[in-house]
């Protein structure tokens, strides 16, 4: 996963990396969603702090002032819960998009998605010719003493085989 600070502080590098991978993406929209979710979370925390302060002051109040402070605290609580739901929804939307972005490319890596997109920089010599047929990677093991597919073997420390 990409560090979120790259989106916030070095969006051009992220855009270039996505371009090199062949990914078309609107980073401005994603950055806007990030700011919106951070703003909603921050506003919710401000309301939570106000709610806690109001709750502490209620104990020292009497009569109509106390009732008014309780109603005010209830309103803060309701607003806080609404903002938390909004912030959680924005987080989910952001993360669903963010997690799908591919990692950043190395500056030395070739552009493109396939081996054919890469340019051969230098070739030293030529590949040696082999005088045997290619085999599957499992084939040499099948003909060795190490291969068995029918009898379970016992290894030291494994216990008994039933």
Residue 147 is predicted with a pLDDT of 64
Query: How far apart, in whole angstroms, are the C-alpha atoms of residue 73 and residue 48?
Result: 10
Query: How far apart, in whole angstroms, are the C-alpha atoms of residue 98 and residue 18?
Result: 13
Token readout for 59 is: 């104990």
pLDDT band (50, 70, 90) for residue 144: confident
Read off the pLDDT of residues 79-129 as tens digits, 9 standing for 90 and up. Answer: 999 999 999 999 999 999 999 999 898 888 877 777 787 778 889 999 888
Q: Judge whether 66 lies within some domain.
A: yes
Residue 39 is predicted with a pLDDT of 96
Q: Judge whether 131 lies within some domain.
A: no
CB 55 within 8 A of CB 66: no
Q: Judge whether 135 lies within some domain.
A: no
Residue 154 is predicted with a pLDDT of 63
Candidate from 39-43, 113-117, 120-124, 152-156 with smallest mean pLDDT:
152-156
**160, pLDDT greater than 70:** no
**Residues spanned by the domain of 94:** 4-110
Read off the pLDDT of residues 46-68 as tens digits, 9 standing for 90 and up. Answer: 999 998 888 888 888 888 888 88
Residue 119 is predicted with a pLDDT of 79
pLDDT band (50, 70, 90) for residue 155: low
- In CATH, what number is assigned to the domain containing residue 60? 1.10.287.40
Domain count across the chain: 1
Model confidence pTM above 0.85:
no
Q: Judge whether 67 lies within some domain.
A: yes
Q: Judge whether 160 lies within some domain.
A: no
Q: Judge whether 105 lies within some domain.
A: yes
CB 27 within 8 A of CB 15: yes
Helices and strands: H and E segment counts in the chain: 5, 0
């Amino acid at each position: 996963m990409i560090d979120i600070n790259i989106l916030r502080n070095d969006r051009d590098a992220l855009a270039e990396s996505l371009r090199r991978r062949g990914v078309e993406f609107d980073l401005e929209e994603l950055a806007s969603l990030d700011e919106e979710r951070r703003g909603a979370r921050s506003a919710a925390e401000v309301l939570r702090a106000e709610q806690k302060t109001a709750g502490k002051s209620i104990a020292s109040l009497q009569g109509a002032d106390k009732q008014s402070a309780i109603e005010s605290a209830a309103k803060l609580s309701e607003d806080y819960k609404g903002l938390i739901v909004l912030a959680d929804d924005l987080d989910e939307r952001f993360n669903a998009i963010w997690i799908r972005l591919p990692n950043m490319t190395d500056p030395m890596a070739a552009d493109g998605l396939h081996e054919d997109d890469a340019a051969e920089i230098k070739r030293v010599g030529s590949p040696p010719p082999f005088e045997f047929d290619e085999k599957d990677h499992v084939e040499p093991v099948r003909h060795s003493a190490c291969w068995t597919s029918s009898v379970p073997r016992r290894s030291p420390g494994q216990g008994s085989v039933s």
